[in-house]
Amino acid sequence: MRGALALILPVALLAACEQEAAPPESAVQTEVPAEIQQGELPVQPADEAGIGTPMEERVATLGLLNKRNNVSRDLELRPGQQQRVGDVIVRLQACERTAPWEMPKETGAFVQLLVKERGTEDQFLKVFSGWLFKNSPSLNVVEHPIYDVWVKDCTMAFPGEEAAPNRDTASGSDTEG
């Protein structure tokens, strides 16, 4: 009896392993237009108060890494822009950094990452949509096996900041360590 059970159990386990699971439901599929057609950005409280650079004039520097071939590149985008690099599209919706008088210094960007679906010409899956933070990258992580995106900087100015002796320190880009 034990011998028969020992033979049947491995065969049953192997048979169960060979059954393919149903494919997961795909994420939101989007088509990338030839031209960026995006409505106006929402009014930001800082814009209304006249504090800092208006959102449409800010420039974010993002890092993009292709883990397959270990190639990284910097992308400079304004809010509302997107850039395609190979099989990936990076969209920037907003970028922010704390004012020079606020602590702790932080730089963040709202980023969307779309990756081309295998075997298609122009079908992209949105694999990430959320805020990324330069000084706290573990708060929100791009979990993709091939691509990684991170925030390097958000170029914007605040009143009185023009007179700062060291622009990098004033922008929160470099932290003394």
Q: Domain-by-domain residue ranges, the chain? A: 47-171
pLDDT for residue 166: 52
Distances (CA, A) of 7 to 1, 16, 160: 10, 15, 79
Residue length, the chain? 177
Buried/exposed code over 123-160 (b: 16+ C-beta within 10 A; e: otherwise): ebbbbbeeebbbeeeeeeebeeeebbbbbebbbbbbee
**What is the model's pLDDT at position 136?**
87
The arithmetic mean of pLDDT across residues 4-19, rounded, is 58
Instruction: Indicate whether 15 pLDDT > 90.
Output: no
pTM score: 0.63
pLDDT at 41 over 80: no
Higher pLDDT, 152 or 161: 152
Q: What are phi and psi of 121, to 5 degrees?
A: -85, -45
